[in-house]
Amino acid sequence: MNVSGGQATDFDAMIVGAGFAGMYMLKRLRDDLGLRVRVVERGEGVGGTWYWNRYPGARCDVESLFYSYSFSPELQQEWEWTERYPTQPEILRYANHVADRFDLRADIAFSTSVDSARYDEARECWVVSTDDGAVSTARYLITAVGCLSASRVPDFEGMDTFRGPTYHTGQWPHESVDFTGRRVAVIGTGSSGIQSIPQIAAQAAHLTVFQRTPNFSVPAVNRPLKADEIEQTKSEYDQLRQAARMSPSGTNPADPIGHVLELPDEVRTREMNQRWDYGGAGFMSAFLDTAVNPEANEVVAEYVRDRIREIVGRPEVAELLMPRDHPIGTKRICVDTDYYATYNRDNVTLISVRETPIDRITEHGVVVAGELYEVDDIVFATGFDAMTGPLNAIALQGVDGVMLRDKWIAGPRTYLGIASAGFPNLFMITAPGSPSVLSNMMVSIEQHVDWVADHIAYAREHGIIRTEADPAAEETWGDHVNEVANMTLYPRAASWYMGANIPGKPRVFMPYVGGVGAYRTLCDEVARDGYRGFNLTTRNDVSAAGDIDAKTPVPADS
């Protein structure tokens, strides 16, 4: 079929992105539903976030045995993770293994970007244009573009004048970068900065860190996994995975021991000591009230500040590293290896750019408060246009010519964080309004993919050719997302969850705080009620108004 003069190929579903979401979506739709599917991926390989984020020290903050797919018992039994927290190269090897094992590559167009996609109401399909000039039609369009994939470098004056190499952590070169003997600047102390700084410091002649806002970080206590613990987890995978699915965050931390404000000092401290020594983000689950009560939160925040005081030798440096502008946990807690101790090294300088921002970048380095810090390389660990960035980068046009980025001008509006009114047959994996970045992404990805696959299967069984979020349902969901967020301390942080890191971006709390388990139950109820909140149009409805199939042949997919 020829569309608009372009070389067109028609599919039942097109998927944007071959990260963990896109790969699993392909598998479900192709292998379980028998659909003709095409995935479009801008990278040369699979892995998404883990394909791009190759910076030194890049490592997942969820334990490897749980940052993995659960859909295939064979896969989860056969794959051997080597460390408690997986490194980026190991996660990428896993992604490639999955692609090979399930024969996914044949249906993925690599090194190709989706430029635009337009919903064609006359034909009830998406018309998708890619940067290779192809125009394809598909009944369903599924975005699996990741939440942290639109990397961002602030617009520093003089950026182009710098004579040395510059890097962004989210677009790291594929060949290894050697900082030996070099003077390096790292700008940004979010998770990517915190992971890369110790590694760069160990290699570089000198490292200057430019910090605007200190972050809370807890030690990973990473280590090689022992054979017996792998075996133990694998033997209990069914129960452990199910518990993670129904938990607040999609992980299996030790249960909270109570409300911190109701516990004696020694009990609080013992619990925090134990969790600190054990390592990992489970530190944040010690108590029931820290996410909602500022006073309770401060107890935990002050504990971490005490650890910083203890670890960092120079008190003035320790003071600069202590976060005081946001409650702990309202930005994703960082999980590090030797981060604070790195500031005890003689070759590391910390420059606060909070009161005096970076003036400009020159040929020789970074200028702050009129002083030039001469460097050979600059690493931007400056984050992402999170969640909406990758979706708004595609010119997504729904009914009546409305662009998604225009509809979302005052903030994203979705139903369940999966669909958006006015954009029929579009499903968005882990979009704003779903738990996504507040959870173990693997658990949230699998839940969304399964739900979308079931929705499409239902549509096919019932002769539904168009499914679209109802505007009223969307509004109610948006109100609920806000209401739940406002019950917590999350909105008190100028975080990328709020869009606060991008000048001019609307300040709306994007992820759903209600918890992975509760959210799953809700989505299941919506499905059980025949996809409550979606307007479903059957082939017969359309035939009554003039059969689309008689007008324009859309690939038979139902």
Does residue number 501 form part of the binding site for ligand NA7 (CB under 6 A)? yes
CA 324, distance to chain mean position in Å, is 25
In whole angstroms, give the CA distance from residue 38 to residue 34. 13
Interface with ligand NA7 (CB under 6 A), residue from 64, 70, 88, 191: 191
Question: Measured from the CB atom, is 26 or 335 closer to ligand NA7?
Answer: 335
- With CA atoms as reference, report the closest residue to 231 among 69, 75, 83, 80: 80
Contact 463, 538 (CB under 8 A): yes
Q: What are phi and psi of 171, to 5 degrees?
A: -140, 50
Binding span for ligand NA7 by CB under 6 A among 97-105, 187-195, 388-396, 399-407? 187-195
CB of 277 to ligand NA7, least distance (A): 23
Does residue number 212 form part of the binding site for ligand NA7 (CB under 6 A)? yes
Contact 152, 502 (CB under 8 A): yes
Interface with ligand NA7 (CB under 6 A), residue from 48, 57, 86, 190: 190
Binding span for ligand NA7 by CB under 6 A among 185-193, 238-246, 264-272, 279-287? 185-193
Does residue number 383 form part of the binding site for ligand NA7 (CB under 6 A)? yes
DSSP assignment of 251-298: S-PPPP-S-GGGS-HHHHHHHHHHHHHH-SGGGGGS-SSTTT-HHHHH
Does residue number 207 form part of the binding site for ligand NA7 (CB under 6 A)? no
What torsion do the CA atoms of 475, 477, 482, 486 make, to the nearest 10 degrees? Answer: 140
Does residue number 434 form part of the binding site for ligand NA7 (CB under 6 A)? no
Q: Compose the 213-252 pattern: x for residues touching ligand NA7 by CB under 6 A, - for all others.
A: x---------------------------------------
Does residue number 148 form part of the binding site for ligand NA7 (CB under 6 A)? yes
CB of 352 to ligand NA7, least distance (A): 10
Question: Measured from the CB atom, is 3 or 489 closer to ligand NA7?
Answer: 489
Site for ligand NA7 in 59-98 (CB under 6 A): none
Site for ligand NA7 in 334-353 (CB under 6 A): 353
Pairing, β 108-109 against β 114-120: unpaired
Token representation of residue 395:
């010119």
- The residue of the chain with the least Cβ separation from ligand NA7 equals 190
Contact 451, 527 (CB under 8 A): yes
Strand ranges inside 169-216, DSSP E:
183-187, 206-211
Contact 462, 454 (CB under 8 A): no
Per the listing, tokens 């299967």 go with 457
Binding span for ligand NA7 by CB under 6 A among 189-197, 239-247, 420-428, 465-473? 189-197
CB of 402 to ligand NA7, least distance (A): 30
What torsion do the CA atoms of 493, 498, 499, 505 make, to the nearest 10 degrees? Answer: -110
Does residue number 114 form part of the binding site for ligand NA7 (CB under 6 A)? no
